[in-house]
Amino acid sequence: MGKRKRLKGRLIRKKGLTSSEGEFRVLSVNSETDEVTMLGVYASYEEAYQEAQAHKQDGLDIYLHGDSNRVLAKV
């Protein structure tokens, strides 16, 4: 019998981490008062990211969430 080979990296991802279609939510968190506000729901990632950039202010953290309730970006 021959020696067994170890194969690394054999995980296959059939679906990408983020898709350009779906529902994307833009949320803001005021760091002083801990107030959470939903700024909007968008159909594309690019549109949601542009809207998040438009609302960016000092003392305000803006997060971009996807369908799976996961944070995709912090602006």
| Residue 14 within any structural domain of the chain | no
Paired residues of 27 in beta bridges? 38, 63
- On the question of pLDDT at 1 being above 70, the answer is no
Give the chain's domain count. 1
What's residue 49's pLDDT?
A: 94
Which amino acid is located at 59 in the chain?
A: G
End-to-end Cα, the chain, rounded Å: 57
Mean pLDDT, the chain, whole residue set: 85
Paired residues of 61 in beta bridges? 29
Range of the domain at 64: 21-74
pLDDT in tens, 41-69: 999 999 999 999 999 999 999 999 988 88
CATH number of 44's domain: 3.10.20
Q: Is 3 helix (H, G, I), strand (E, B) or coil?
A: coil
Helix ranges (DSSP H) in 1-75: 45-54
Give the predicted TM-score (pTM) of the model: 0.69
